[in-house]
Amino acid sequence: MPLAQIFGNLSLWASLPAFLVYYLFYSSFEYDDPEGRVSDTKTFLNEYDFIVIGAGSAGAVVANRLTEVSSWKVLLLEAGGDETLVSDVPGTVQYLQRTNIDWQYRTVAQTGSCLAFNDNKCNWPRGKVLGGSSVLNYMLYVRGNKRDYDSWAVDNPGWSYDDVLPYFIKSEDNRNPYIAANTKYHGTGGYLTVQEPAYTTPLATTFVEAGVELGYENNDGNAAQQTGFMLVQATNRRGHRCSTAKAFLRPIRHRPNLFVSMHSRVLKIVIDSTTKQATAVRFEKNGKVYEVKATKEIILSAGSVNSPQILMLSGVGRADHLNSLGIPVLSDLKVGDNLQDHIALGGMVFTVNKPFGSLEGRYVTLATFFNYTINSAGPMASLGGCEGLAWVKTKYADQTIDFPDIEFHFVSGTPASDSGYTIHYNQGVTESIWESYYKPVVNTDMWQVIPMLLRPKSTGTIRLASTDPYTAPLIDPQYFTDTNGEDLKVLIEGTKIGLALSKTEAFQKLGTKFYDKIFPGCEGYTPWTDAYWGCFIRHYSTTIYHPAGTCKMGKAGDPTAVVDARLKVYGIKGLRVIDCSIMPNVVSGNTNAPTIMIGERGSDLIKEDWPHNKEDVIIKPLTTKKNSSKKKMKVKNI
């Protein structure tokens, strides 16, 4: 796809010679990449010690850590290809969904949510690429709340906050000096670069000031206390995205025991029906089907949608569901149940009378383009407009403890800002609603606060649509279906706090006004009542892309558990699940960093279960060589 088309301003890009545009991007992202690209395996051994399915936020970590043992051969299978040049640019994140690096999932029709979307179906982006959803996401580094993990540990020893904190720190290379200095909670020198974005608007500091005005602290939500307001921390490396592929795979790409196969679609895990031993993985690549054996274990790290799908295709799942499709049942487990996701209101926006918003016209200019390609700075280094985070308590939360029930994502752009942001925020919203509600204020400076429900009580399901592995599974999040309606009540209160934020002196200095046009479909409700807000939320429901829980971790005897505390699948030998699907309850925050932690901890569990000689362990990452080219050019490091 031409860059002009990608960035949506043909007249601008037409003014640049094509070779110059190509030179700038190619030199910036290819020649100076210190890690280099991962090679794609073309031929396969008959067997490997471990086969890891999925090279996303967890799978890339697992492949890295297992290949630290030099005598173990590890095959990493990824359905997608490598990251693109565009995905490396934080400011282009809104252009990545519905592309070939996205599975492009949609839910089944919802009855009480996503009512403003086409066919009442919610879009569910999932990464189909090396790095998985860490390539599609907004790069926010959030760990969740201490009490999340302590609740996991009640039935799952080894998963308390004190147990998992060292694994967060192990991965982290935090480059914010005032944050990294807090060594009790943060680490330096790990594979995963974490730092504040290279560019924010003045609205970011206004957001934090407004939070303090409401009585909240400006603090580090990843440290001692979560409740409060903060500027974002991100998986960001000097103005570029730091996906798990870049962080964990590229630096070790020369390890002789690592084999990475892209464009490899897993069809099923082969399990012996007599011994219940997982023995091999069957997958298709370039039109050819392979079946490769694993002598030790198969690790499923395909995420909360694809991991249950693959298990069910392999005979592991609810007996009634598998029987209905004619799939022999090898282990009757509640695979695909317990689906949890962070639902939010996506359409509440505010205008300002200062030129501070993230408008496309300010992003796509020659100046910003050259600033980014040369300095890795400027608007294109922003996180797609997401600049602040906050955790607040509604009246339904326990006021005596640090356990907020709403998270705010503060964005310096909105669905109404311009066409660029519409591509993301308005994705799938019916054209009639866009025309009648947002289009009148296109190209207006605006900001948005997105209230997100942290601990949903509503749970949904993942089910097979058919026995065809190429058919997308049925995703039914069942938002707002909890018995007492608590999820909607909490989100309504969070919306009210967001409105109160706009009334603070900090925001009023910018002339902030709530865009109070009645949302289509809610005309029959008295404006600004709980009933109206509930209608608004049900119409403009938006996922924050955090599905979890579909291969639940639980103790033996728990009828809802799929894996044990060591992440082994009940009833099947040689098979583990290591990704966010094992969460008993979704964490109170964004899920990318916790998924990386799960990859780190799961890798150690495997090493504990498979003793190896100390001399086999690669203590340090292999030294990588800088890319070479016949063309000699001076490039910067990223």
Q: Please report the DSSP string for 193-258 in residue order.
A: EEB--S---THHHHHHHHHHHTT--B--TTTT--SEEEE--BSEETTEE--HIIIIIGGGTT-TTE
47 residue type, one letter: E
User: Which residues are annotated as catalytic?
Assistant: 546
Task: Give the Å distances, CA to CA, from 482 to 264, 477, 486, 489.
Answer: 38, 11, 7, 11
535 residue type, one letter: C
pLDDT for residue 247 = 97
d(CA 598, CA 592): 10
d(CA 84, CA 77): 18
pLDDT for residue 118 = 87
Work out the number of other CB atoms within 10 angstroms of the CB of residue 134: 30
Work out the number of other CB atoms within 10 angstroms of the CB of residue 524: 9
d(CA 564, CA 570): 7
Residue 401's SS3 state is: coil
Crossing angle between the packed helical segments 486-502 and 203-213, to the nearest 10 degrees: 110
d(CA 301, CA 314): 15
Work out the number of other CB atoms within 10 angstroms of the CB of residue 352: 23
Residues near 308 by beta carbon (within 8 Å), at least 6 away in sequence: 317, 335, 336, 462, 473, 550, 551, 581
- Residue ranges covered by each domain of the chain: 9-13+30-36+47-616
d(CA 619, CA 166): 18
Residue 536 gets which letter from DSSP? H
Residues near 11 by beta carbon (within 8 Å), at least 6 away in sequence: none
Find where tokens 């002196």 sit.
505
Please check if 563 is assigned to a binding site. Answer: no
183 residue type, one letter: T
Count Cα atoms within 13 angstroms, Cβ side, for 122. 30
pLDDT single digits (tens) 67-101? 999 999 999 999 999 999 999 999 989 889 889 99
Count Cα atoms within 13 angstroms, Cβ side, for 188. 9
Q: Residue 336: exposed, middle, or buried by beta-carbon count in 10 A (0-12, 13-18, 19+)?
A: buried
Q: Are 389 and 232 in contact (CB under 8 A)?
A: yes
Q: Are 478 and 340 in contact (CB under 8 A)?
A: no
For residue 369, what is the enclosing H or E element? Answer: helix 366-375
pLDDT for residue 15 = 39
Residues of the chain with pLDDT below 50 are 1-24, 27, 29-32, 419-426, 619, 621-638
d(CA 331, CA 309): 14
Here the tokens at position 105 are 């999932």
Work out the number of other CB atoms within 10 angstroms of the CB of residue 37: 16
CATH topology of domain 9-13+30-36+47-616: FAD/NAD(P)-binding domain (3.50.50)
Find where tokens 């066409």 sit.
419
405 residue type, one letter: D
d(CA 451, CA 346): 8
Work out the number of other CB atoms within 10 angstroms of the CB of residue 467: 13
Pairing, β 278-285 against β 264-271: antiparallel
Q: Are 67 and 55 in contact (CB under 8 A)?
A: no
pLDDT for residue 95 = 86
pLDDT for residue 416 = 66
Please check if 281 is assigned to a binding site. Answer: no
d(CA 635, CA 32): 5
pLDDT single digits (tens) 175-184? 999 999 989 9
Whole-angstrom Cα Rg for the chain: 24
d(CA 151, CA 585): 9
pLDDT for residue 414 = 77
How would you classify residue 374: left for phi > 0, otherwise alpha for psi between -120 and 50, otherwise beta?
Answer: alpha
